[in-house]
Amino acid sequence: MPTPEMLAAARRVLAYLATTDDVPAAPCDAIMGFGVFDLRLPVFCGELHTRGLAPRIIFTGGLGAGTGRLGRPEADAWRAALRGRYPDIGDDRVILENRSTNTAENIAFTAELLARAHPDLTFGKGLRRLVVVASPSRLRRVALTLRQVQPELTLFRQLPAVSLEAEWAAYGLQGLDYVAHLAGELDRIVEYPARGWIVAEPLPPEIAAAHVVLRAVAPR
């Protein structure tokens, strides 16, 4: 049974990891959705598109750690979810990268695909302003990774409403321990800069303290 201290730490960490930016005042070049089992997120990408935030949508994700029980590549499942809610968003508006298995590959394989098949959207050239959508717990690390490997991009992190209770329940349905998941995300933010994978961003003191609380109870 989670203690009040654990819940408070988890809530604080999730709010930090899921920090978003102001909605861009002018349209961006594309919306990039990083695949995971949560099919609310591609629908949210469609909502952003219909609101005029960007003319193109990119979904990236193959069969990775976040695929859950989708049964197919994340990008393909996201396209189907988007089509179900927004059937008028045609295939000419949506680009799929469905081979990647982790965040670094999401970005590298998408960069290769854009340069080869969509040169008008090459990172740093035709694509300079990017709306980023990812699972709430992964959003900060995705942005830090993009800033490391594609520093010329201007990023706008966006999410639908986030609830600790809903995220905890969704991960539980996938058989995943959410406390361990949150602690692991902070582990990566601390450890990955030394490997050159993400931009260094020291944890704020209150998040470092919450990390200690979660790590003390999270299974490894």
Extract the tokens encoding 132. 């980023």
pLDDT of 41 higher than 90: yes
DSSP one-letter string for 39-82: THHHHHHHHHHHTTS-S-EEEE--S-TT-TT--S-HHHHHHHHH
C-alpha span between 40 and 20 (Å, rounded): 17
Residues 66 and 134 in one domain: yes
C-alpha span between 58 and 69 (Å, rounded): 22
Nearest to 98 by CA among 112, 83, 118: 112
Residues 8 and 28 in one domain: no
Domain holding 125, by residue range, is: 20-157
pLDDT of 219 higher than 80: no
Residues 133 and 28 in one domain: yes
Question: What 3-state DSSP class applies to 187?
Answer: helix
Question: What 3-state DSSP class applies to 196?
Answer: coil
Residues 10 and 89 in one domain: no
C-alpha span between 86 and 46 (Å, rounded): 7
Cβ atoms of 47 and 131 closer than 8 Å: no
* 176-197 residue pLDDT tens: 999 999 999 999 999 999 999 9
Region 38-58: what's the mean pLDDT?
98
Region 61-71: what's the mean pLDDT?
91
Residues 189 and 143 in one domain: no
Domain holding 29: CATH number? 3.40.50.620
Question: What 3-state DSSP class applies to 23?
Answer: coil
Question: Could you give the dihedral angle defined by the CA atoms of residues 73, 101, 137 and 163, in that order, rounded to the nearest 10 degrees?
Answer: 10
Residues 172 and 153 in one domain: no
Domain count, the chain: 2
* Domain stop point among 109, 134, 157: 157
* Domain stop point among 111, 129, 157: 157
Residues 55 and 141 in one domain: yes
**Beta partners for residue 60, in sequence order:** 34, 97
* Domain stop point among 106, 130, 157: 157
Residue 80 CB partners (closer than 8 Å, separation 6+): none
Which secondary-structure segment (H or E) carries 97?
A: strand 94-97
Nearest to 162 by CA among 14, 59, 39, 33: 14
pLDDT tier for residue 220 given thresholds of 50, 70 and 90: low
Residues 85 and 193 in one domain: no
pLDDT tier for residue 205 given thresholds of 50, 70 and 90: very high
Residues 103 and 184 in one domain: no
Residues 180 and 141 in one domain: no
Residues 182 and 97 in one domain: no
Question: What 3-state DSSP class applies to 204?
Answer: coil
Residues 44 and 109 in one domain: yes
* 69-101 residue pLDDT tens: 899 999 999 999 999 999 999 999 999 999 999
